[in-house]
Chains A and B, each alone.
Chain A
Amino acid sequence: AQKVTQAQTEISVVEKEDVTLDCVYETRDTTYYLFWYKQPPSGELVFLIRRNSFDEQNEISGRYSWNFQKSTSSFNFTITASQVVDSAVYFCALSDPNSGGSNYKLTFGKGTLLTVNP
């Protein structure tokens, strides 16, 4: 069975600090996708990144960066110079290879609530 673990339930930082959100996953499949989503107080989930299991390159997008390490089954997310607007719940998710094709089901972690204080 697939599993996604986000061990950090809540993180609180002061603005401009760097913060890393951890994600560890379990799957027996060799082909899968990993995702990060942001859920602001409004409730809608906002897509941040998708990474496939064959691409272990780190990704940087502005203040966001992602570190994918297959050897440790981790897909960590770092926000550099955090801002108050980054305050949200962040979810890591793993695609379900048994759902067939690309209409995949996602297994979500429980989320990390990030609070950035001014």
Chain B
Amino acid sequence: DGGITQSPKYLFRKEGQNVTLSCEQNLNHDAMYWYRQDPGQGLRLIYYSQIVNDFQKGDIAEGYSVSREKKESFPLTVTSAQKNPTAFYLCASIPAGGSAYGYTFGSGTRLTVV
């Protein structure tokens, strides 16, 4: 079945560590997105990519980095510069021509700083 796979489901990070969240899609979608969700908050855009080897900062990009070397993959690295990384992270994708069904979302990664 086509979809978006995010891994791991739960991730624990020590202070000062970088961690990478995986996002893989087999939908042949061109555009991919990373959102952060905090309790009681909406989703806030971190980074997005419309084509391979190109990506743009979203509203809260500081302390995060991404790469888009393959169409299927859009990993997010949470760096030690991100002061409050504990959150739920969602990856999404959509075809180049858009979709009547909006984004397809992954099941998320819950990151906790210990």
Q: Is A97 an interface residue (CB 8 A)?
A: no
Given A9-B40, A91-B43, A44 and B105 contact (CB-CB distance below 8 Å): yes
Residue of A nearest to B88 (CB): A43
Q: Which residue of B lies closest to A10 (CB)?
A: B40
- The size bracket of the interface on B is 20 to 34
* Contact with A101, one of B96, B105, B106, B108 (Cβ below 8 angstroms): B96
Q: Assess the A47–B102 pair: CB atoms within 8 A.
A: yes
- B45 touching A37, Cβ below 8 Å: no
B16 near A: Cβ within 8 Å? no
Would you mind naming 27 contact pairs between A and B with Cβ atoms under 8 Å apart? Answer: A9-B40, A37-B105, A43-B107, A43-B110, A44-B90, A44-B107, A45-B90, A45-B103, A46-B105, A47-B101, A47-B104, A50-B100, A93-B102, A101-B98, A102-B94, A102-B95, A102-B98, A102-B99, A103-B50, A103-B98, A104-B94, A105-B33, A108-B43, A108-B44, A110-B40, A110-B41, A111-B40
Interface residue? B42 (CB, 8 A)? yes
Closest approach, in angstroms, between the C-beta of B9 and any C-beta of chain A? Answer: 9
For A42, give the chain B residue with the smallest CB separation: B107
Scan residues 69-118 of chain A and give those whose CB is less than 8 A from a CB of chain B.
91, 93, 101-106, 108-111
B31 at interface (Cβ–Cβ under 8 A)?
yes
Which of B30, B40, B88 has its CB near the most chain A CB atoms (within 10 A)?
A: B40
Interface residues of B (CB under 8 A from A): 30-31, 33, 35, 40-45, 48, 50, 58, 88, 90, 92, 94-108, 110
Cα–Cα, bound, A44→B100 (Å): 18
The SS class assigned to the A binding surface is loop
A105–B102 contact, CB under 8 A? no
**How far is the CB of B57 from the nearest CB of chain A, in Å?**
11
